[in-house]
Amino acid sequence: MAEIGKDIEKAKLLLQEGKLVAIPTETVYGLAGNALDAEAVAMIFETKNRPAFDPLILHTSSIERVEDFVSSFPEKLKVLAENFWPGPLTLLLPRKPIVPDLVTSGLDRVAIRVPNHPLTLALLESLDFPLAAPSANPFGYISPTAPVHVAAQLGEKIPYILDGGACEVGLESTIVGIEEDEIVIYRLGGLDISEIEKLVGPVKIKDHSSSNPAAPGQLDSHYAPRKPFVLGELKELVSESLTKNVDFSVLSFSDFFPEISAESQIALSPEGNLLEAAKNLFSAMRKLDEGKSTVILAELLPEEGLGRAINDRLRRAAVK
């Protein structure tokens, strides 16, 4: 079973040996390996059971070091990096040959970011290579936002989990690229689109793809619990399920349902705060998935701000 600890030097040595380590970020925990070592990258895919056509995100410690791995840095994207790094922003940039094909699934652009977590930034600064680090969970399942989540899912497959506590943002990074001078959002995430638009103007949002994604995290079915996950109008779903004697639990935005037990329901934010809801989303989904009910009922949040990214995860969790 993986050891959980705060020893950056131990994590560094394991990574230098070509092994995998779980690392904390402000978004979710990542399963990290040397991004320039094709064998270590292949081990990430194998450990997660992740399809090789789904590219990975490269993590490094500063905007200056990004230049080592990309052949160009469009000015509009550099402006975003200067304003939001370290942070929950991933940029798609033309890659240099030093980046293995396996990291990008053979695509010409590499997804890259500077995460905002003191432990992982210190680790990255101590390494002479970047880290490839998708979420530290079996492919398609709920992303981990605490060390115990990683241990429960991958603890027997990796030697070490760097303990950075609970993730502050709780949603994966927003992935941004540029096409013909137009800023494109490939994945909604922890950085609100309105913040991006303040700097670069209106953006285009791309639908996620069921195969051959142009960026990480674009598959239709993703972030999903093992139990059936049903989206709809919660009051109607609860009433119908009670009538049919269905064994269910509830994931709401802010409402509490007095007709069912407190143990069978979680409100993401009783105050209706989207930031709090984003932070709690994956841990709440995981708790209900590990509970005794046979089905999870949920609702969409207001389609504004981070609500759009949360709804993206909810819709993909509900895809069968």
Q: Is the pTM of this model over 0.75?
A: yes
Does residue 210 surpass a pLDDT of 50? no
50 appears as a binding residue in the annotation: yes
The identity of residue 292, as a single letter, is K
Are 3-205 and 229-318 the same fold in CATH? no
**Where in the chain are the domains?**
3-205, 229-318
Q: Tell me the pLDDT band of 221, cut-offs 50, 70 and 90.
A: low
Say how many C-beta atoms besides its own lie within 10 A of residue 307's C-beta: 19
187 appears as a binding residue in the annotation: yes
Mark 68-90 as b/e (b = at least 16 C-beta within 10 Å): ebbeeeeebbeebbeebbbbbbb
Q: For the chain, what is the radius of gyration of the CA atoms?
A: 19
The identity of residue 63, as a single letter, is I
Percent of the chain with pLDDT over 90: 89
133 appears as a binding residue in the annotation: yes
Architecture of domain 3-205: Alpha-Beta Complex (3.90)
Cβ-proximal residues to 241 (8 Å cutoff; 6+ apart), any chain: 248, 295, 297
160 appears as a binding residue in the annotation: no
Paired with 298 in beta bridges are: 231, 251
pLDDT at 206: 87
The answer to whether the CB of 320 falls within 8 A of the CB of 252 is no
Element (H, E) at 31: strand 30-34
308 appears as a binding residue in the annotation: no
| 43-56 mean pLDDT | 89
Q: What is the CATH number of domain 229-318?
A: 3.40.50.11030
223 appears as a binding residue in the annotation: yes
> Regarding predicted confidence, which is higher, 123 or 212?
123
226 appears as a binding residue in the annotation: no
Q: What's 141's DSSP letter?
A: B
